[in-house]
Amino acid sequence: MKALHILLTAAAAAAVAACAQMSPSGGAAASAQLKPTAGNTASGTVTFEQRGDKLLITAVVTGLKPNSEHGFHVHEKGDCSAPDAMSAGGHFNPGAKPHGHYDNTDRHGGDMPNLRADAAGSTRVMWESDLLSVSGANGLIGRSVVVHRDPDDYKSQPAGNSGPRIACGVIVTGK
């Protein structure tokens, strides 16, 4: 009887943990807390919510230069420890594709739309990716998301000429 109770308790704990990693829509979820790199003020939250074969990405970022545009990418390493966030590595590129526009199928998985700040230096963007997922071969858990100082030109190789990294956050399970 005691063994059955322990087994049921373990199963219930596993079910609760699995639910904690799911989004309200029932899909898997992940998030990143953006922190400014040395000398910068940008910060915010990025959430990732699996919706079938698409990944809904929602970013809320503050501390940007007013009325500015910024490159925004998933990077290969989940390491924002360097003062300039270069420890995050290059763009996440599971398909070994060239850097490109976020609507082009021939692009890095981590290529996303530029962030456009309002007059207060804030932005909120929602976008669906068909090349990323919370887990699996194109999974983002353990990677990072980076905001750059300049806009991505969507053509320069290998990273869109978007300048220094002004904020970085490691992507973890759950919201």
Domain locations in the chain? 2-173
Q: Indicate which residue of 108, 143, 149, 152 is catalytic.
A: 108
- For the ranges 17-21, 41-45, 82-86, which has the lowest average pLDDT? 17-21
- What are the phi and psi torsion angles at 41 (to 5°)? -125, -5
CATH topology of domain 2-173: Immunoglobulin-like (2.60.40)
Instruction: Tell me, yes or no, if 149 is annotated catalytic.
Output: no
- Annotation says 101 is catalytic: no
The CA-based angle 78-79-80, given to 5 degrees, is 120
**For the residues 50-56, what does the mean pLDDT come to?**
92
Active-site residue, from 70, 75, 107, 149? 75
Q: What is the pTM of this model?
A: 0.82
